[in-house]
A and B are shown apart, each in its own frame.
Chain A
Amino acid sequence: MYTTTSNDKKIKDYQKYERMIKTIHKRFKTYGYERVKTSTFEQYDLYTEVKSAINRKEMVKTIDENGEVLVLRPDVTIPITKQLSELYAELPHELRYYYVQDVFRQSDEKDEEVESTQAGVEYYCESSPEKDAEVIALACHTLKDLGFQNIKIEMGHAGFFQALIEQINLSDRDLIKLKKYIQSKNIVELEPFLRTLEIDESLVAALTKIPMLYGNPIQVSEKARQITQLQKTDEILAYLLEVYDILKLYGLEQNIVMDLGLINHMGYYSDTIFQGFVEQYGRPVLMGGRYNHLGDEFGAKLPAIGFACTVESLLKATKKNCTAPRVPLDVHLQYDTECLRDAILFANELRERNYTVVTSQQNQRLNDTQPSIYQIQLTNQERNFFYKEKSYNFDSMKELLKLMREIKGGM
């Protein structure tokens, strides 16, 4: 009776998706986060006013009955912050929120779905290395729970690059180009480009080195101190090293890399930024950072740090290295036509006790093929209970439950 026939692949994928979300929920909760939900529809204007990396073209738009343009939630951080700003002009105390919900973006890339599930946390609190480290540790912890190995978190700071370019006047066009060269670590073209800008020689040297400020945090910050002596950058490096020291206490020394070439990719990040990578997957699986001034856009002081990951990406990343076995049913109950009444009674009693039960009529044409741990057969003559190819006779519900308990004890 125990079959291993594989069910529809989609259902299997969905079960994997559910298990993944369950794991994420659990981990976020253990760090004291509470789940929140935001509306599926958001004002289009909300996303045109706020500086963010969400491309307007990518948003799915719709129009309400008054002709107002709405978008299907393209992100979660901005709406949560806006909601909070309506309640508080200033952070009254720390707040820890998490969410698992769908976001909608239509990307140019054909292999990407419009709808994807984002899981993330937002920790509203003032800047401190302890808190930043805790959030990064949570990110790492979550990836570990999901069975990933060789997790790398790249950590940088939005203020580092900012402090350097604040010294010069750059046109928007040149700034975009400069960012692009740094983000792609394109030193070959970065230096000649900087030479066309007529900026100070020491600054050219500093900016050219940014892309390679990558690796062990202690060595990287030493190298960084050699190229810039600004007070601001000094403070940033000291801050990041403090975060790193605390992450070491979390046992994450091997997982942390400093990358000062990591620059503000979300538009609203203001301080610490980070992204997570796992083996077997070519893109970041997780992105986060501190956004102390996003609340300012809505007239509230709401410093915060958070991160988000896309569940579909995580699923793709796990595809290669682990296929968790599917969870079998507890009981498969088969009955003779005359025993329908008993079958329903037994099944309901068991379900009340939180067993998963599927019933089927004997000899019915299409059977449910999900594997089950226990099997029960009800006929007019006898009632049998099967476990691991052994059969046991029983009379009443009481006897059945006793049998199941004994077997559990004996396992």
Chain B
Amino acid sequence: MSLLTIALPTGRTAKQAASVLEKAGIRFPDYHSKTRKLVMLDETKTIQLILVKTADLPTYVEKGAADIGMIGKDVILENQPDVYELADLHIGKCKVAVAGFPNQSLKVDGPLTIATKYPVITESYFEEKGISIETIKLNGSIELAPLIGLSDVIVDIVETGTTLKENGLIVLAEMMDVSTRLIVNKARFSTKTEQIESMIEKRKKALE
């Protein structure tokens, strides 16, 4: 039987995702939250874990470098990978929201400028609302943009809102709830059906 490869994103969801696997009885002896290792095997040596950059994870699964991935809905919506999205893992829960200064209006003269890691999500949301916008793609420290006048508002994920608060920003509109999903490569679903189904089944049982 060939190895089943699971990709986890480095960063905030990795730990929770790893604990989901552990509850399902899939343990990686080498895994701990501070590990620098990027590839490791589980105890039975049938499942391989790889740690990849969050934004790259959908690509790994879509192209079949990993069979399965655990990744936030925000990243899926932003990348639109051609994969199966088989389950909601109910972890990594947060919101995608528009944030800005208190009492700020989303109606401005001309296009509203928005700094974000999620241009695709942002554009489709505002298009539906009929608000004309201009997005500025940033890769981090999004909160900085309105403070120094780079943008009017930002679109970002909000968990607790602490970072926003510390920078004097508030949520102006909640766009959607997101959580971590289990995605599967379409070809691997056909060639490794049993392995994949049994893994999903184990995880389901662990939740009950």
Contact = CB atoms under 8 A, between A and B. Distances in A.
Contacts of B82: 184, 283
A278 B192 CA distance: 10
Nearest to A153: B190
Contact of B84 (A150, A185, A189, A281): A185
B141 interface: no
Contacts of B61: 282
A40 B190 CA distance: 35
B139 interface: no
Given A154-B190, A184-B84, A188-B85, A282 B181 contact: no
Contacts of A215: 193
Interface in B49-71: 61-65
Interface in A237-263: 257, 259
B86 interface: yes
Interface in A72-129: none
Interface string B82-125: 11111110000000000000000000000000000000000000
B190 A281 contact: no
B84 A277 contact: no
A364 B190 CA distance: 56
A152 interface: yes
B4 to A, nearest CB: 13
Interface residues of B, number: 22
B151 interface: no
Interface in B161-183: 181
Nearest to A257: B190
Contacts of B85: 184-186, 188-189
Contacts of A150: 191
A350 interface: no
B186 A284 contact: yes
B13 interface: no
Nearest to A280: B64
Interface string A276-316: 01111111100000000000000000000000000000000
A280 B5 CA distance: 12
Contacts of B186: 277, 282-284
Contacts of A259: 190
Contacts of A283: 63-64, 82, 186-187
B135 interface: no
B107 to A, nearest CB: 25
A265 B188 CA distance: 19
A152 B64 contact: no
A279 B189 CA distance: 11
Interface in A181-219: 184-189, 214-215
Interface string A212-240: 00110000000000000000000000000
Contacts of B88: 188
A279 B2 contact: yes
Given A152-B190, A185-B86, A187-B87, 17 more contacts: A185-B84, A186-B84, A187-B86, A188-B85, A188-B87, A188-B88, A188-B181, A214-B193, A259-B190, A277-B190, A278-B187, A281-B64, A282-B61, A283-B82, A283-B186, A283-B187, A284-B186
